[in-house]
């Protein structure tokens, strides 16, 4: 049975932040990404201003909102490697190979060639261009630092944490990507954060990258995260920026909406409201240097209007398989948007409100 054939049952809810029942409609649309049947509406709370899906899928319908074709699940099943290398692995990608220089040169793009890298200033420019502000890694001091990745998928962030010396484990609700992460040697709890039954103060830092917008009760989720953090521990998370220009320009086709999977739609203001409700305080809110939402939104629009043409689907697929060259070319415009706080994605660092500042 395809996702378009499944009947999603919806339930009305009050504002997940202030619990008030005072809303006005923001935008309605369909699931243009995965084709889950139905029309879905995002509303804004008239009291606190938080935006959220209302009505939303009930608990029994939530699994049907995530078909096998959903991007993170499809990636977990394996894909062709792109040119993209994380900043932490750039040296390995460009210099650390034990293969012959001729062999590497035969595959390497010209802008990573040794001749180009020897030009004065190019190395520094390269690192500046590939910085995305998409994630923040706390400075690791001493042994035994413990990290948890919520929604760890197939383990890419867990690998980066392990490379930096962290004792990392994950939580993943979908069995297939969780299995892939386990095969990399990580402890992965299949289920929700609440069902994982972690101990109080078990972690120094919790990562929730593009996760909190999926949860039905962000206040309860962050309170649970606070419980499992050490005093002064950090929560590092990212969310689509509902307050940016992209959402106004693309409307129902904005990639950040992802109806009906995104239940919450955060702005800087609502994130700052969320912190004291959950006994965190805001350390930083950064605009990511990332134009993926714009590219994917164009793809969703073109796929809807011209379903027989491949361009729209190709643009959407590109955001799941970005290339290093594409990142370099888009670096300047993405930084300009971030400077005026109009990036399409935000990275947020919350600290547990305690006297201790161990992390």
Residue with tokens 């040296």: 91
Backbone dihedral angles phi then psi of residue 281, each to the nearest 5 degrees: -130, 150
Looking at every residue in the chain, the average pLDDT score rounds to 85
pLDDT, mean of residues 145-165: 93
Q: Could you report the per-residue pLDDT of 168-208, keeping only the tens digit for each?
A: 999 998 888 899 999 999 999 999 999 999 999 999 999 99
Q: Could you report the per-residue pLDDT of 258-292, keeping only the tens digit for each?
A: 999 999 999 999 999 999 999 999 999 999 998 99
pLDDT, mean of residues 17-31: 96
Instruction: Return the closest-CA partner of residue 265 out of 314, 311, 218, 299.
Output: 218
Q: How far apart are the C-alpha atoms of 337 and 335, rounded to whole Å? A: 5
Q: Is the pLDDT of residue 330 over 90?
A: no
Domain architecture of the chain: domains with CATH: 71-352 (3.40.50.150)
Q: Is the pLDDT of residue 64 over 80?
A: yes
Distances (CA, A) of 355 to 36, 135, 211, 237: 46, 25, 28, 22
CB 27 within 8 A of CB 70: no
Q: What is the pLDDT of residue 75?
A: 52
Residue 197 has a CB neighbour count (10 Å cut-off) of 9
For the ranges 6-10, 67-71, 162-166, 299-303, the one whose mean pLDDT is highest:
299-303
Q: Is the pLDDT of residue 82 over 60?
A: no
Q: How confident is the model at residue 98 (pLDDT cuts 50, 70, 90)?
A: very low
Q: How far apart are the C-alpha atoms of 340 and 319, rounded to whole Å? A: 23
Q: Is the pLDDT of residue 42 over 50?
A: yes
Backbone dihedral angles phi then psi of residue 163, each to the nearest 5 degrees: -60, -30
Q: How far apart are the C-alpha atoms of 193 and 190, rounded to whole Å? A: 9
Q: Is the pLDDT of residue 94 over 50?
A: no
The percentage of the chain sitting over the pLDDT mark of 90, rounded to a whole number, equals 63
Q: Is the pLDDT of residue 44 over 60?
A: yes
């Amino acid at each position: 049975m395809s996702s378009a054939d499944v009947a999603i049952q919806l339930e009305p809810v009050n504002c997940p932040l202030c619990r008030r029942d005072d809303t006005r409609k923001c935008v309605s649309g369909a699931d243009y990404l995965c084709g889950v049947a139905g029309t879905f509406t995002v509303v804004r709370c008239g009291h606190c201003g938080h935006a959220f899906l209302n009505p939303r899928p009930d608990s029994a319908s939530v699994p049907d909102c995530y078909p096998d074709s959903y991007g993170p699940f499809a990636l977990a099943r394996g894909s062709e490697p792109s040119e993209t290398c994380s900043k932490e692995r750039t040296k390995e990608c460009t210099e650390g190979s034990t293969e012959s220089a001729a062999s590497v040169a035969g595959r390497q793009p010209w802008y990573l060639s040794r001749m180009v890298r020897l030009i004065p200033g190019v190395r520094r420019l390269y690192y500046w261009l590939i910085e995305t502000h998409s994630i923040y890694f706390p400075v690791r001091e001493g042994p035994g630092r413990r990290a948890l990745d919520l929604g760890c998928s197939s383990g890419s962030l867990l690998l980066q944490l392990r490379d930096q010396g962290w004792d990392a484990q994950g939580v993943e609700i979908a069995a297939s990507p969780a299995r892939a992460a386990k095969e990399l040697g990580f402890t992965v709890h299949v289920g929700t954060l609440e069902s994982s039954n972690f101990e109080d103060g078990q972690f120094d830092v919790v990562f929730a990258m593009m996760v909190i917008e999926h949860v039905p009760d962000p206040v309860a989720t962050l309170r649970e995260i606070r419980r499992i953090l050490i005093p002064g521990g950090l929560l590092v998370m990212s969310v689509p920026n509902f307050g940016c220009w992209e959402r106004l320009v693309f409307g129902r086709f904005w990639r950040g909406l992802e109806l009906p999977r995104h239940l919450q739609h955060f702005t800087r203001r609502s994130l700052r409201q969320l912190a004291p409700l959950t006994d965190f305080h805001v350390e930083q809110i950064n605009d990511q240097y990332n134009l993926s939402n714009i590219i994917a939104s164009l793809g969703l629009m073109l796929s809807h209007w011209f379903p027989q043409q491949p361009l729209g689907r190709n643009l959407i697929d590109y955001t799941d398989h970005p290339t290093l060259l594409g990142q370099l070319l888009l670096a300047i415009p993405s930084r300009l948007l971030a400077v005026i706080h109009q990036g399409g994605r935000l990275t947020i660092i919350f600290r547990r409100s305690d006297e201790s500042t161990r992390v």
